[in-house]
Amino acid sequence: MNNIYFYSLQICLLVALLFFLIFVYSSFVFIYEKEKKAAFKAFLIALLLPLPYLFTWYYSWEIAAFIFVADLFLTFCLFLIPFSSNKNSTDNYPLHKIDERNIMFSRSELIEGSDNFNKYYQKYPDKKPLDDKFRKEPGLTAKGSLFYNRIAYAAANSSFFTIDKLRTAVDGEINPDKEQLDPAEIAKFLKAWSKKLGALNIGITKLSDYHFYSHKGRGKDYSKEIKSTHTHAIAFTVEMTHEMVRAAPQASIVMESGQQYLDAGRIAVQMAHFLRSLGYSARAHVDGNYEVICPLVARDSGLGEIGRMGLLMTPKQGPRVRLGVITTDLNLPADKWEKDNSLIDFCNRCKKCARVCPSQSISFDEPKLVDGIKRWQINSESCFTYWCKSGTDCGRCMATCPYSHPDNFLHNCIRWGIKHSSLFRILAVYLDDFFYGNKPKPKKMPQWIPGNKKTQE
């Protein structure tokens, strides 16, 4: 009996120490993330959580042993038993091509009184009252907008200016001296090289009709039907830094968007030119000059899933990425996309992006039928109107998404639990709300950006 008593004491002390270390470590992670409230909560739990084990053991080692076994069983259930996800939350493939002329960026470029302006609103008269709302606002990076910051906006516009110069380089002449390439070998090279150039993750997919827009909606080729002989696409992500995104919708978010659109464009243009120099047709798709729907191409390349907010959700950075795509006629081995129902199930439960959306453009509902397929759809008109009002591309949904937390051991353990257990997904939603807040406020912009405004909701 004394041996059992002694061993039960050791077990209780070990469990208490384990919980203490876990939450102390979590507290240090939160301090590094500059999340003071979360750090305080974690440290308080580190001090208080071991006490029930010690008090229980003091009064009854049998009860302490029972609690210990129950904790082990609960941990096993949360982390190791692969409870199934809802397999039919969203449909996989669009039934029809999307016309780029209908997206908000294209509609924002229409010049009042022009032929394109008049023709578009004659065809879609119901969209005119909606679009008149964003035209009454100051506009992106405009003086008079909510988060106007001349220095930050000038930096963002410098990135967009440079991107504009890249748009003429997305395509070009093909070397008539075609190199005979080993598909597997060149795919391996492209993946390694793209990471050296600054890409975060990269995948390859075989192209389908739904990957392409039906018609161009921007630039000199407006209304032109998109026809391509390309059969494969290389898709990659570039990371948007947590420090710049967390202050969204303040000016740092549009600075970071511009910078990462530029980085993605630079990599895509460079890789497309490389393929053309080897004798293969290739086109880069950069901000303002797309022919494909990048999130769908990236998803089918195995880089993530389309979440509630309509953005690509990657496994470790969530929506905190920008995308680059190169299409080509080079026959490359495609990466297999396996639908991640755990991520979609978590999106279905979380709803934090919908709660924090300043324009209430993100649905709280489960996926619904839109154009014949079950998916989430944001209210793009109200979203873009807020962009024009705030002067930035908002990004509040991106900043608060639990998947957007930094790529470190603590958050990767949580992501692992989310992926493998629906029970843990339920717990993870509450844990994120507890530590980070149910409707967290934006953080301050980095100190090196002049003219910081006070944090606003």
Which of 368, 389, 388, 392 is CA-nearest to residue 378? 368
The predicted model gives 2-15 an average pLDDT of 60
**Interatomic CA distance for residues 231 and 275, integer angstroms:** 14
Q: Tell me: the pLDDT tens digits for 45-72?
A: 888 877 766 666 566 655 656 666 666 6
pLDDT at 454: 46
pTM (two decimals): 0.91
Q: Where are the domains of the chain?
A: 1-80, 100-400
The predicted model gives 381-391 an average pLDDT of 98
The predicted model gives 301-318 an average pLDDT of 96
- Report residue 43 CA to chain centroid gap: 30
Q: Tell me: the pLDDT tens digits for 202-250?
A: 999 999 999 999 999 998 999 999 999 999 999 999 999 999 999 999 9
- For residue 9, pLDDT over 90 is answered with no
- For residue 457, pLDDT over 60 is answered with no
**Interatomic CA distance for residues 342 and 403, integer angstroms:** 12
Q: Tell me: the pLDDT tens digits for 415-426?
A: 998 988 888 898
pLDDT at 228: 93
The predicted model gives 423-449 an average pLDDT of 93
Q: Tell me: the pLDDT tens digits for 252-305?
A: 999 999 999 999 999 999 999 999 999 999 999 999 999 999 999 999 999 999
Residue found under tokens 């992006």: 353
pLDDT at 421: 83
Which of 212, 230, 327 is CA-nearest to residue 271? 327
- For residue 147, pLDDT over 60 is answered with yes
**Interatomic CA distance for residues 101 and 162, integer angstroms:** 24
Q: Tell me: the pLDDT tens digits for 331-364?
A: 999 998 989 999 999 999 999 999 999 999 999 9
Task: Evaluate whether 210 touches 97 at the Cβ level (below 8 Å).
Answer: yes
pLDDT band at 79 (very low <50, low <70, confident <90, very high): low
**Interatomic CA distance for residues 429 and 161, integer angstroms:** 40
Radius of gyration of the chain from its Cα atoms, rounded to whole angstroms: 25
Q: Mean of the per-residue pLDDT values for the chain?
A: 90
Q: Tell me: the pLDDT tens digits for 163-189?
A: 999 988 999 999 999 999 999 999 999
The Cβ of residue 276 has, within 10 Å, a number of other Cβ atoms equal to 18
| Helix/strand/coil for 289 | strand
pLDDT at 72: 60
